[in-house]
Amino acid sequence: MGKKKLVVIGDEIDGIKAAARAICQNPEVEAKVLIPGKYPSFNSYMLSYFIQNSEEDVFSLVEGIMDNFRVQGSMDILTETRVTDILPVEKKVIFEELKDGHSSVLEYDKLIIATGASPVVPAIEGINLGNVLFLKSPEDVAIIQEGIKEGRLKKAVVVGAHMAGVYLAESLWKRGVKVSLVERGSQILPELDIEMAELVRRQMGRKGVEVLVGEKVLSLIGNAKGDVVEVHTPEHIIPADVVIWLDDMKPNVEVAKKAGIIIGASGAIEVDQYMETNVPGIYAMGSCAERVHHITGKPVWVYWQAVDDVALHVISQNILGDNDCMLEKGVLGAIGIQAFDLGIARAGLSLQQAWQEGYDGEAAIVSVYDDRYAGGGGYRENTIKLIVNRSNGKIMGVQCVGGALSDKLVDIVATVMGMDGTVKDLAVLDLISMNQHPILLVAHVMLNKLQGKLKGISPLELSSLVHNEEVVLLDVRTESEFKMGTLPGAINIPLEELENRKDELDRERLIVLISERGRRASLAYVKLKQLGFERLRVLDGGLLIYPFV
């Protein structure tokens, strides 16, 4: 019996790793990998890493990775090849060798599609100018590295302020480049709710990064040499030595679609619980494949920050047998970066997404000075936001901004979320340093909200009410703290004076209670409730994380 023939098409590293794992588990597998360029593709996060770590050679790393894959077993990586057709009935792949235009045919027993994703190139003036990059290859990294080293690249404009855009901005900023980050939407980091994203934007401003939101790029202006020198938006003209466009991505599905493989509602390749397409023996993984969201149960396309290890395991097992391995759960879209001395991480749905999906979402926010969790360095104020379904207490999402271990906090919540856990499950976790642990704190705040013991108001909600005459902003900190800064129009009655000065408050108006992190405001809420006040709210997270001032 001959060897089982495995063909991987596409340059995304997930597909190559799946082939390597299958070979290690069964020497009878023989793999050929067809990639369109000289190297496997890496996402913008990995490429950004090499921009800020200039001492590491991206080409050496990529070539080392390819050599390691080749020596692991019967794997042949064919570079500079373009797959033109998949013939499912004949179980053949037709590809063109780009160097000489010669066409060849490969037979397969199993096929993995790992064609990844590509930037969406906008139809605007100047998009084809020199030094307009889409950060899709090691060559792009080399152009940026050389420009910085030679002193030609001093001003950069990054278009697209999602996680990848923020991380790229950090990488350039660390190299001494003046960075402008331009986002056409109403906020940076659309993966987060706006008050959490604003914490990041405010920190970026402190670091000297120009952040423009609600600004669509209208045109790119070049010089006589054909290089970009300016970015024009409706409100700004931004000087630029390089423009890096990360505004939008799309899955590469053209070859699959041509072969009769179903493209899902998200625009990516539809796969089942075995990561198999509608065509038996053909699998898809990575950024070209559609997944199911664990919370909503709906198809979703996720542009992966790193390798999808769960899918990698499932496919490598199923290549060897008869689909013996299946996905047990959907994805939560967990992602995390370190940027501008902040840990930024999230998983599941944002509160806005939960509402859009028709859930009765509730949120709780706490802020903890995380000296014990940050390892002694970095930004210490750690803000965590928890989103649950009011009807059953199930956790729907989590976001964290601040400490160096933000991603670890999100990992803990995501683990409980993946087990369909509730906020009660979260509240009884036996964690190291349980006193003032941010996860336990936010869980207990949420339980108090769900049980009607506390009513909060989000920073975003309050931002639209601060000038409303029907609202009283009551700062319950000490007088000296109050004088150091508070919200516009706020009055001060320290917590310990509330009972004696209760008559100074109008019971008919909505009273929003304010303190540094919300702890004293929560105590004030209980006290005023006992004194007969009904229209009360506590500012979620407290003044320290209120970003709209």
Mean pLDDT of the residues in the chain: 92
Q: What is the pLDDT of residue 431?
A: 84
Return the SS3 of 509.
Answer: coil
Q: What is the pLDDT of residue 375?
A: 47
Q: In which band, very low, low, confident or very high, does the pLDDT at 72 lie, cut at 50, 70 and 90?
A: low
In this predicted structure, which of 98-107, 316-325, 490-499 has the lowest mean pLDDT?
316-325
Asked if pLDDT for residue 373 goes beyond 60, the answer is no
Q: In which band, very low, low, confident or very high, does the pLDDT at 75 lie, cut at 50, 70 and 90?
A: confident
Residues 6+ apart with CB under 8 A from 408: none
Asked if pLDDT for residue 70 goes beyond 80, the answer is no
Q: What is the pLDDT of residue 68?
A: 77
Percent of the chain at pLDDT > 90 equals 76
Q: What is the pLDDT of residue 534?
A: 95
Asked if pLDDT for residue 372 goes beyond 60, the answer is no
Q: What is the pLDDT of residue 328?
A: 87
DSSP-derived letter for residue 36 is S
CB–CB of 157/236 below 8 Å? no
Contacts of 488-493 with C-beta under 8 Å, sequence gap 24+, read 488/549, 490/514
Q: What is the pLDDT of residue 224?
A: 95
Asked if pLDDT for residue 435 goes beyond 80, the answer is no
Q: What is the mean pLDDT of residues 154-160?
A: 98
Asked if pLDDT for residue 290 goes beyond 80, the answer is yes
Asked if pLDDT for residue 378 goes beyond 70, the answer is no
* Other CB atoms within 10 A of residue 301 CB: 19
DSSP-derived letter for residue 3 is P
> Structure tokens of 322?
């008869």
Q: In which band, very low, low, confident or very high, does the pLDDT at 305 lie, cut at 50, 70 and 90?
A: low
